[in-house]
Amino acid sequence: MKLVTIIGARPQFIKAAALSRAIKTHNRDSSLQKVEEIIIHSGQHHDPNMSDIFFSSLEIPLPDYTLGIHNLSHGAMTGQMLEKIEQILLHEAPDVVLVYGDTNTTLAGALAAAKLHIPVAHVEAGLRSFNRAMPEEINRILTDHIAQWLFCPTQVAVKNLQAEGVDQRAGVEIIHNGDVMLDTMRYFINKASRITLDRRKGSVDGYIVCTLHRAELTDDLERLRDVFTSIVSIAKEHPVFFPLHPRTRKALDKAGCTFDHPGLEIMEPVGYLEMIDLLHHAGLVITDSGGLQKEAFFSGTPCLTIREETEWTELVEAGFNRLAGYAPESIVAGAKAMATVTVDNSSFIYGDGTASQSIIATLLRRIH
Ligand code: UDP
């Protein structure tokens, strides 16, 4: 089976790492049919600490094709990717194209493949925020509606797809097999704790990890200023480690925010191994990231989400995550309340850490 993996953004590297590992493990068994993986990196994230570090530390094979497409408007970026990916797919003629999550890379990859009648497998299918102002929501809806195999991380995702009638299309299969990010975290957690003790030195348990990067925030400077002011105020009580996404750094500069405040440590984006160690020892996560909401749960750490809605509603229902919105008083009060929450992560709402193996096994059964 020949499979083309299309990735380009940080969260996709973490998800694709699980699949590449599952393929490697599968290929070690000489009695089984081999899987050939070709990797296309669109270039959507290209800084060394947003891209290269994930390939090396997560042991992802180097991309076979690197497109170098970044820093463009949504239309220009998606259009250029579509054109270049189409040429590669024509040349490689894979049995299946694998796309992840909800970025412009996801949509461009799925669209290029579907137009060439190459089956698309969407990993992390079925997620919905029900907020169509989010570029990610448009990307996921369109990808789900042209994919053939929809691999869902949660039961909620399955229901979302059924509600849209996705399962009524001939040949389409919705498969609930758990979250591949859990696979990656399970595999790397032991390596993580060894490399990052320095970062936590001097900080008692009870520190906060904060990340912010969504367009809803970075495109609205007044909102961003309010949220940042809340973080500055929270940092007076508990140390806050804040690895800054390049887009957020630019927006904070534009908003006139300064970075020198008591208890606040602004950092460059950290590598995945460092991030999961930080999460495991934190008292609270404050974020607008989709991935971090789940990784906080996997780490047994409560989460305050700086958004008005989330795709991971099961965590909010369980009381392990709270939606704070953007108002400073709600963020400060939310941080105080969530810091005392104990997270029981013993349930299997995101599977058992073997989602990637099950995806490869399913594709092999369906394709040959
Ligand atoms: N992440 C990281 N270093 C950072 C910030 C995030 O390794 O400085 C990882 C994090 O563990 C998570 C992923 O990047 O798995 C999430 O990416 P991001 O928040 O950019 O995207 P989203 O999950 O919202 O799509």
Residue 346 within a domain? no
171/208 same-domain check: no
What's the chain's average pLDDT? Answer: 95
For the segment 184-199, the average pLDDT, to the nearest whole number, is 76
158/67 same-domain check: yes
162/255 same-domain check: no
291/154 same-domain check: no
Residue 243, ligand 1, Cβ within 6 A: yes
Return the percent helix, strand and coil in the chain, to nearest 5.
50, 15, 40
**Number of domains comprising the chain:** 2
Ligand 1 centroid to 350 CA: how many Å?
18
pLDDT > 70? residue 359: yes
How many CA atoms are closer than 13 Å to the CA of 20, on its beta-carbon side? 26
Residue 161 · residue 174 · CB < 8 Å: yes
Measure the CA–CA gap between 258 and 72, rounded to whole angstroms. Answer: 27
For the segment 150-178, the average pLDDT, to the nearest whole number, is 97
Beta bridge partners of 241: 209, 265
Residue 97 within a domain? yes
Looking at residue 193, its pLDDT comes to 64
Ligand 1 centroid to 305 CA: how many Å?
14
- pLDDT tens digits, residue range 243-290? 999 999 999 999 999 999 999 999 999 999 999 999 998 999 999 999
pLDDT > 90? residue 368: no
| Sign of the four-CA dihedral 99, 103, 105, 108 | positive
Residue 10, ligand 1, Cβ within 6 A: yes
Atom 23 in ligand 1: residue holding the nearest Cα? 291
pLDDT > 90? residue 192: no
pLDDT > 60? residue 209: yes
Ligand 1 centroid to 170 CA: how many Å?
35
Measure the CA–CA gap between 241 and 223, rounded to whole angstroms. Answer: 21
Residue 82 within a domain? yes
172/206 same-domain check: no
Question: Is 238 annotated in the active site?
Answer: no
329/358 same-domain check: no
- Binning pLDDT at 50, 70 and 90, where does residue 191 land? confident
What DSSP string describes 154-174?
Answer: SHHHHHHHHHTTGGGSTT-EE
For the segment 21-42, the average pLDDT, to the nearest whole number, is 96
Atom 9 in ligand 1: residue holding the nearest Cα? 272
Measure the CA–CA gap between 291 and 181, rounded to whole angstroms. Answer: 8
Active-site option among 26, 46, 122, 213 = 213
Residue that has been written with the tokens 């849209």 in this structure: 164
170/205 same-domain check: no
Residue 187 · residue 266 · CB < 8 Å: no
Residue 248 · residue 228 · CB < 8 Å: no
Looking at residue 2, its pLDDT comes to 98
Residue 14, ligand 1, Cβ within 6 A: yes
Ligand 1 centroid to 8 CA: how many Å?
13
Measure the CA–CA gap between 245 and 234, rounded to whole angstroms. Answer: 20
236/324 same-domain check: yes
pLDDT > 70? residue 194: no
Question: pLDDT over 90 for what percent of the chain?
Answer: 94
The closest of 48, 45, 50, 11 to 244, measured between CA atoms, is: 50
- Binning pLDDT at 50, 70 and 90, where does residue 195 land? low
173/206 same-domain check: no
Residue 330 · residue 233 · CB < 8 Å: no
Looking at residue 200, its pLDDT comes to 57
Beta bridge partners of 322: 304
138/262 same-domain check: no
334/355 same-domain check: no
**CATH number for 9:** 3.40.50.2000
Residue 186 within a domain? no
171/234 same-domain check: no
Atom 3 in ligand 1: residue holding the nearest Cα? 270
The closest of 186, 190, 228, 211 to 282, measured between CA atoms, is: 211
pLDDT > 60? residue 58: yes
Measure the CA–CA gap between 67 and 51, rounded to whole angstroms. Answer: 13
**Which two three-digit tokens encode residue 118?**
């190459």
| Domain boundaries, position 59 | 2-179+351-367
Residue 312 within a domain? yes
Residue 23 · residue 35 · CB < 8 Å: yes
For the segment 349-366, the average pLDDT, to the nearest whole number, is 97
- pLDDT tens digits, residue range 123-151? 999 999 999 999 999 999 999 999 999 99
Residue 293 within a domain? yes
Residue that has been written with the tokens 């899987």 in this structure: 35
Residue 65 within a domain? yes
Residue 103, ligand 1, Cβ within 6 A: no
Helix axes 10-28, 355-367, angle to 10 degrees: 70
For the segment 221-239, the average pLDDT, to the nearest whole number, is 96
Measure the CA–CA gap between 130 and 132, rounded to whole angstroms. Answer: 6
